[in-house]
Amino acid sequence: METITTFTSELSILEISYLIASILFILGLKKLSHPATARAGNLWAAAGMGAAILFTILFHQKDGQPIGNIIWIVVALAIGSFIGWYASIKVKMTAMPQMVSIFNGMGGACAALISLMEFPKMQNHLASLPEPVSNMLGGEGIAILLGLMIGGVSFAGSMIAFGKLDGRIGDIKHPILRIVNLTFLVVLFVALFVILFMKPEADNNFPIYLFALAALIYGVTFVMPIGGADMPVVISLLNSFTGVAAAMGGFLYGNQAMLTGGILVGSSGTILTILMCKAMNRSLLNVIIGAFGVAGAGGVEATDKTVKEISLSDAAVLLSYSQKVFIVPGYGLAVAQAQHLCHELDNLLASKGVEVKYAIHPVAGRMPGHMNVLLAEADVPYEKLVEMEDANNEMSNTDVVIVIGANDVVNPAAEDDPSSPIYGMPIIKALDAKNVIVMKRSMAAGYAAIPNNLFYHAKNRMLFGDAKATLQKLVAEIKSL
């Protein structure tokens, strides 16, 4: 009987709830690896977080006393939950990257605020201790300072990323920013160690506020020079920052659920960042010092080149009598909200015996997996989504490639123009196919703001117009054949 009583004590129940929450986080992340189980994965992870919050409120104690201000906590949870729910149902698919940036930034801000609240308490406590102990902050201080630094960078950087994605903030590109960012990074780490070994003084919080300000400034200068085409890498990296900052809070409070969640987000975000860097042909160091997009515009002037157009009727005939067709989706498809019509075209061609697949570039769109989410919304079977490398292996046997709203991910400058800022970036090799049709509103450059010589190639035909309206007409034209 005594064993059961010990097992059901508040501390034991709380620890078990954290263990269950951590398991749900891990299982949820595992289920996110496949679209068929991704929805369930989100729900499992959300259930884990809900359980961790509920059991913390009910059973967490400090100095033998339960948590106070329950009403305020419940009200704050209700307001935050409503805002999150309302934002998620109202956000357009084209604005999903902006929402991800904001939510990610809020996570970083929370981690930074935790550090700002806990540092004065630790400072005052250590100032009252004997001299041999009071001259070093220790492990708790390291967790606080790292949480503040990483969380501040994540918050400020995510807000700048939001502004860039939403078209409210432009790029500031100058080679000197490489030096500025690298210098700022070194200064932050030096300041961290200086504060760590400073003699604690009661009510002296000026150094920590100055440190927080430096972290926020670095977050801004870190993201400002980064070009729009590289934004998926930035979002992924900032996401990993937020996870690491949350893990510092887990260390600080001895909260296993917070620690596990932060580690999972931080590690998965780091892995994704490395994959994004590979897809963009960037180094991780260039990510950290914010050196993206600093090169010149590059590209060959195309004012003397000829653009060939294709009519709707000719495009319908070419597609209907093909054996294999690849569709390359891009951000323009999301802007036009044409994913459902794209799937309708896919089904119509399939009914005529045409094999249709989708070539997905890792950084197509404005965030990692943007195109996968967009097409999943239109119920496109996951089996039809082909990763870039596999798609490139099939291009030589492809009759037609339809590029809908994509630009930089099919730009041949990445392979044949050393002066281009995207030179060396792996692309979908549309020109290996027998025919290419590019659907665009105009000849405007893509997010990287560089010319695309694919438009002028002999294999390519341009089909101008809004993607949604053009696809509607194209579907009608194929049906009439």
> How far apart are alpha carbons 137 and 144 in whole angstroms?
10
Residue 147: both structure tokens together? 């949480």
Beta strands at 65-66 and 61-62: parallel, antiparallel or unpaired: antiparallel
Residue 69: both structure tokens together? 């201000």
3-state secondary structure of 331: helix
Report whether 362 contacts 272 (CB < 8 A): no
Report whether 115 contacts 145 (CB < 8 A): yes
**CA 28 → CA 25, 39, 44, 126, 236, distances in Å?**
5, 9, 5, 40, 19
Residue 360: both structure tokens together? 């997905």
**CA 211 → CA 112, 115, 188, distances in Å?**
11, 11, 7
3-state secondary structure of 99: helix
Residue of 166, 230, 304, 408 marked active site:
408
Which residues is 288 bridged to in the sheet? none
90-103 CB burial, b ≥16 within 10 A, e <16: eeebbbbbbbbbbb
Which residues is 440 bridged to in the sheet? 464
CA 412 to chain centre: 25
> How far apart are alpha carbons 472 and 343 in whole angstroms?
11
Count the Cβ atoms, other than its own, within 10 Å of residue 416. 11
Helix (H) or strand (E) holding 474: helix 467-479
Q: What beta strand segments (E) does 298-412 contain?
A: 324-329, 355-360, 385-387, 400-404
Report whether 190 contacts 271 (CB < 8 A): no
Q: Is 450 exposed, middle or buried (0-12, 13-18, 19+ CB in 10 A)?
A: buried
For the question of residue 304 being annotated catalytic, the response is no
Q: Is 244 exposed, middle or buried (0-12, 13-18, 19+ CB in 10 A)?
A: buried
> How far apart are alpha carbons 421 and 456 in whole angstroms?
20
Report whether 184 contacts 290 (CB < 8 A): no
Report whether 281 contacts 425 (CB < 8 A): yes
DSSP 8-state class, residue 309: B
Q: Give the contacts of 326 (CB within 8 A, at least 6 positions apart).
A: 356, 357, 358, 359, 386, 391, 394, 395, 398, 400, 401, 402, 430, 433
> Which residues are known to be catalytic?
408
